[in-house]
Amino acid sequence: MARSITMVLAWLMVNLALANGPDSAPAPGGKQAALSAAQIVRKNVDARGGQDAWRKILTMVWTGHIEPGNGALPSLPYVLDMKRPDKTHFEINAHGQIIARTFDGLHGWKLKPMPNGRPLLEPYSARELSFARDVHGIGWPLMENRVKDTAIKLEGTDDIEGHQAYCLSISRPSGYKMQVWIDAASFLDIKTARESRNASGNTVKVSMYYRDYKAVDGVKLPFMIESTNESGITIDKMVIDHVALNAPLDDRVFGRPTLSLLGNPSARETSNSRRVDFRTAYPMMRAAAPSGSPFSLAPSHGH
């Protein structure tokens, strides 16, 4: 599940620039002129609400739940905080145990339960930091163009669950690579894929499907993100129950995790900021308190 959430956050937080290139592909059906990678990116940005609307978002908070793919386990509530330029805090309640990942833009920390009942807090590894610097920050794979040395190439068109889609490949000098499929009709992202490593160290491909798009204050978000393995079997589904834009967030939220900040929404607020009380607004989180746990903002087993 951690690997699948890595994919989600890669899609959520990558800030990319479009590389110049002559590649283009005909629109599906051949009824329209061929589109270049640059044109597809611009149409995707417009479909998401436009650059101007996204640039106005300084913070974003998701609350929701994770549904395990096999249905044998209950759903897990989560909260994801994001703050520009690239701060992230993700925590989930894993049946009363704390798992946490935070990144303050320079340093990252991971907190997980141990068999002895005491939480283990560790800094990000060098590989995890490299990954975090590549993918963290508010935005979408094709939304921001701050990173001038990212290459985006149009690979062609594919059929994705009955939708004709443009396939774009994304690569960073660090070695981070990803594919994203853009629906040829709506120009919304409908799938991403990247290679990861499992607990055994083997390379595997994990795909994410983006569903149930809804508008939130002028920008569009997928309210369900489904992860699948190489066999096409659903690993889990990340469901957004609520989105808050530009809620004030204390920078302490993104620093080294402490038990006083994790799993306690009121402790993460300041007297004049963060007025969302998740315990009151979301019964699932209230019932699960006082434990929260961020899923993997960086890969546990490789880049």
Total structural domains within the chain? 1
Domain assignment present for residue 233? The answer is yes
- Please give the pLDDT value at position 280: 30
Domain assignment present for residue 296? The answer is no
CB atoms within 10 A of CB 29: 9
Q: What confidence tens digit (pLDDT) does each residue in 182-196 have? A: 999 999 999 999 887
Domain assignment present for residue 234? The answer is yes
- The tally of CA atoms less than 13 A away on the side-chain side of residue 247 is 21
How far is C-alpha 224 from the chain's CA centre?
A: 12
Residue 266 lies in domain: 2-288
Q: Is 178 left (phi over 0), alpha (psi -120 to 50) or beta?
A: beta
Domain assignment present for residue 45? The answer is yes
Domain assignment present for residue 14? The answer is yes
SS3 assignment, position 6 = helix
- 3-state SS of 222-243 is EEEEEEECCCCCEEEEEEEEEE
190-204, 215-229, 265-279, 289-303, range with greatest mean pLDDT: 215-229
**Choice among 89-93, 143-147, 151-155 with the minimum mean pLDDT:** 143-147
Domain assignment present for residue 303? The answer is no
Contact 40, 182 (CB under 8 A): yes
Domain assignment present for residue 51? The answer is yes
222: CATH: 2.50.20.10
Q: What confidence tens digit (pLDDT) does each residue in 150-179 have? A: 789 999 999 999 999 999 999 887 788 889
Residue whose structure tokens are 């759903």: 75
Domain assignment present for residue 302? The answer is no
Q: What pTM value is reported for the model? A: 0.75
Contacts of 229 (CB under 8 A, 6+ apart): 204, 206, 235
